[in-house]
Amino acid sequence: MENLTAKSFEIRQDILDIIYRAKTGHIGGDFSVCDILIALYYKQMNVSPENINDPNRDRFILSKGHSVEVLYAVLASKGFFPKEDLKTVSQYNSKYIGHPNNKVNGIEMNSGSLGHGLSVSVGMALAGKMNKASYRVYTVMGDGELAEGSVWEGAMAAGHFKLDNLTAVVDRNRLQISGSTEEVMTQDNQDDRWRSFGWYVLHAIGNDINSLNAAFEKAKTIKCKPTVIIADTIKGYGVSFIQNSVPWHHKVPTEEQYTQATQELAQRRDEAL
Amino acid sequence: MNKVANRQVICDVLTEKANTDKDIVVLCSDSRGSASMGNFVDAHPDQFVEIGIAEQNIVSIAAGLASCGKKSYVASPACFLSTRSMEQAKVDVAYSNTNVKLIGISGGVSYGALGMTHHSANDIATMASIPNMRVYLPSDRIQTKALFEALLKDNKPAYIRIGRSAVEDIYEEGNVPFVMDQATTVVQGSDLTIIACGEMVKPAQEAAQALIEKNISCRVLDMYCVKPIDKEAVVKAAKETKAIITIEEHTAIGGLGAMVSQIVSSQCPIKVINIALPDAPVIAGNSNEVFAYYGLTKENLIQKALELMA
């Protein structure tokens, strides 16, 4: 079986390449959620280039759309489009723009404005219930994103409709563009918030694929409630000087930094093998 | 006079079509009463979704449903739908190109004395400014029915604004000269043209009839399709008549008049007068009182026409 931890560092290298080439991107959040997307696309979700038009495929919405580079890298690695296309990300007239766009194969809905993905996912999950379909809906939000009021409109509806086919993940890396989430707008009390909206709350080590998979499996067993997985992640996980650093929310590496990051990612991959 | 409001007609069309089309879903934001959707709810409870008072949520949920094959019809007050949930309309509906029809009920100044919070005097401007969002303001119940029958056949986003009260018929049942996205000529005329939409088509029709007695031949175009606007009909009017008056239950900023003026000035410049609501909170009053105060009336149309033709 494929070593997904090793894979996660290869995907991070793809992300690093995208951002270094494009001179733009959100590397901190990409590295933060990388393992969540790998768990979903490599283990959890019933979605592939072959069944992308199947009404019963599982759905994924990247609500924190600025982490699009990781989505592109994972979709390319799963064969939704040629890996060669990653060279065009954020380039002139490319369809691979800086936020998810459903012109790209494998992307369900456009996102980028924070606080939309959960409500859209509620609609998708509701359609599944109406059609008595078995697919599941997944969405990933940032912890800073939880300050958007619309998130809680979606949370309220998901609880109200008892959408047990919906799993939301919070990328709890504790940093946002202006600093610590706890300084900007506290999110440490979110367990109680989610529960009070009718959700089942799980925690996972957000950069540990086994821990994430265990949480996703548990979520499938919860009936009559949507599940939120609060994934404790490290922003920029995988490269020493990028992780846990506020400016690396969207900093672009220099040539020297690119080389060092590449070496570190290769080393991490080798250690995982 | 007809006593059937456009909202009731929409409910009737959707209720009937939902008998055979199980993908039709109606969503309300605690607005089923004001949307006259009661019959739909009773007939198709499994195809109705109550979201509560959450306009951002209702639009995103409608988009999520549509992305999974549903045909979403959101019926919510125009004032909130066109501004509070504008970003959801922009991103989740128009940009993602989902099959969501946003029905702005109690539009314009329908809510009368409830004040600016409840007026949607700028909804054409907000919604039409969104790429891939169509904007329709049908005039009477007969056209509204034809419009919704057409909308049910496509899978593209649209915003439809209707008023709260019953409006007098413009057309005859069984004889609706309706072609999707083409203005309807209500009155033929060769001296000047009135271009109207929504509830303003009736005073335009009446003004044209009164002008005949004054030997002025006034054309009336029902521009229910504000976007995509029927450019051909506008240019034709500019070429064939001497002046154009636009009238709308909307401010002059970014509405029907602005769009007509833009087309005429660039393609066939003639005099255009815009009759519209002010760029300010309107006075308290019912719709007709507000219309009268700001000159959205047959009488004002006649006066303006006489001035133009003098």
Å from A264 to nearest chain B CA?
A: 38
Question: Which amino acid belongs to residue B78?
Answer: A
Give the pair of three-digit tokens for residue A102: 């459903």
pLDDT digit string, tens, across residues A129-169: 999 999 999 999 999 999 999 999 999 999 999 999 999 99
CA distances from B54 to A9, A151, B28, B127, B209 (A): 41, 11, 9, 19, 45
| Domain boundaries defined on chain A | 4-272
Question: What is the helix (H) or strand (E) element at residue A204, kind and residue range?
Answer: strand A200-205
| β strands within chain B, DSSP E | 24-28, 48-50, 71-77, 100-105, 134-136, 158-161, 184-187, 192-196, 218-222, 225-227, 243-251, 271-277
Determine the Cα–Cα distance for residues B300 and B37; give it in Å rounded to an integer.
36
Cβ neighbours for A50, distance < 8 A, ≥ 6 positions apart: none
Contacts of B91 in chain A (CB under 8 A): 110-113, 116
| Torsions phi, psi for B304 (to 5 deg) | -65, -40
Residue B34: what pLDDT? 92
Q: Cα separation of B103 and B110, whole Å?
A: 14
pLDDT of residue B4: 85
Cβ of B64 within 8 Å of Cβ of A112? The answer is: no
Q: Please give the Cα distance from A201 to B193 (Å, whole number).
A: 63
First to last CA, chain A: 12
Q: Cβ-count burial of A80 within 10 angstroms (0-12 exposed, 13-18 middle, 19+ buried)?
A: buried
In single-letter form, the type of residue at position A200 comes to Y
Backbone angles phi, psi at A24, to 5 degrees: -160, 155
**In B129-198, beta strands by DSSP E:** 134-136, 158-161, 184-187, 192-196
Burial A151-161 (b: 16+ CB within 10 A, else e): bbbbbbbbbeb
- The Cα B200–Cα B139 span in angstroms is 8
Give me the CATH topology for the region A4-272: Rossmann fold (3.40.50)
Give yes or no for a contact between B159 and B75, defined as CB atoms under 8 angstroms apart: no
pTM for the whole thing? 0.97
Which residues does chain A have with pLDDT short of 50? Answer: none
In chain A, the residue whose alpha carbon lies closest to the alpha carbon of B84 is: A150
- Report the alpha-carbon distance of residue B107 to residue B137 in Å, rounded: 10
The percent of chain A in helix, strand and coil, each rounded to the nearest 5, is 50, 10, 40
For A108, the closest chain B residue by CA position comes to: B67
CA distance B249 to B251: 7
3-state helix, strand and coil shares in percent for chain B, rounded to the nearest 5: 40, 20, 35
Contact status, residue B54 vs residue B25, Cβ threshold 8 Å: no
Cα Rg of chain B, angstroms: 19
Q: Which of B130, B177, B140 is nearest to B162 (CA)?
A: B140
CA A117 – CA B242 distance, rounded (Å): 52
Backbone angles phi, psi at B8, to 5 degrees: -65, -40
pLDDT of residue B2: 74
Using the Cβ of A123 and the Cβ atoms of chain B, whether some distance falls under 8 Å is answered with yes
Backbone angles phi, psi at A94, to 5 degrees: -80, 150
**pLDDT per residue as tens digits for the range A223-256:** 999 999 999 999 999 999 999 999 999 999 999 9
Contacts of A155 (CB under 8 A, 6+ apart): A118, A193, A194, A197, A199
- What distance in Å separates residue B277's CA from the closest CA in chain A? 32
Q: Does B93 touch chain A (CB under 8 A)?
A: no
pLDDT in tens, chain B (310 residues): 677 899 999 999 999 999 999 999 999 999 999 999 999 999 999 999 999 999 999 999 999 999 999 999 999 999 999 999 999 999 999 999 999 999 999 999 999 999 999 999 999 999 999 999 999 999 999 999 999 999 999 999 999 999 998 989 999 988 889 999 999 999 999 999 999 999 999 999 999 999 999 999 999 999 999 999 999 999 999 999 999 999 999 999 999 999 999 999 999 999 999 999 999 999 999 999 999 999 999 999 999 999 999 9
Q: What burial class does residue A183 get, using C-beta atoms within 10 Å of its C-beta: 0-12 exposed, 13-18 middle, 19+ buried?
A: exposed
Bridge-based pairing of strands A179-180 and A200-205 is unpaired
Give the containing element (helix H, strand E) for B190. Answer: none
Contact A123 B62 (CB under 8 A): yes
Domains of chain B: 6-161 (3.40.50.970), 184-309 (3.40.50.920)
Q: Which of residues 8-37 of B touch A (CB under 8 A)?
A: 25
Which among A112, A119, A130 has the least Cβ separation from residue B60? A119
Nearest CA to B96 out of A54, A103, A80 is that of: A103
| Residue B24, Ramachandran bin (φ over 0: left; ψ between -120 and 50: alpha; else beta) | beta
ipTM over 0.85: yes
Residue B1 pLDDT: 67
Which residues numbered 43-82 in A keep a CB inside 8 Å of some CB on B? 55, 59
